[in-house]
Amino acid sequence: DAKTTQPNSMESNEEEPVHLPCNHSTISGTDYIHWYRQLPSQGPEYVIHGLTSNVNNRMASLAIAEDRKSSTLILHRATLRDAAVYYCIFRSYNTDKLIFGTGTRLQVFP
């Protein structure tokens, strides 16, 4: 199964943009890139997903490299409620399976 690589932790100040990187050099051409976040004591929450083009929604933006070997989740203005573990994941075209890595723990300071 394809794997992703993320930094263990990142820090940000409130109201600043946050760029969370993810490397996925083994991704196949048909696998979607998904991002989820998990707040303490809660289930993972869907953030955004994409295949090749950059994507925007009300929560975040997803920038996908042209060669698809990396992507970046962008939180435009971090809030204290954005402090969570962020997972960059493949969703397999063939099995629809989500394979979680260890994620990036984001700390947001006032």
Q: Which is nearer to other proteins, 46 or 109 (CB)?
A: 46
Q: Which is nearer to other proteins, 16 or 39 (CB)?
A: 39
Q: Could you tell me if 18 and 63 are in contact, meaning their C-beta atoms sit under 8 angstroms apart?
A: no
Q: How far apart are alpha carbons 104 and 89 in whole angstroms?
A: 12
Return the residue of 6, 18, 22, 36 that touches other proteins, per CB under 8 A: 36
Tokens of 30: 């048909």
CB of 25 to other proteins, least distance (A): 18
98 scored as a contact of other proteins (CB under 8 A): yes
CA 73 to chain centre: 5
CA 10 to chain centre: 13
Return the residue of 9, 46, 56, 80 that touches other proteins, per CB under 8 A: 46
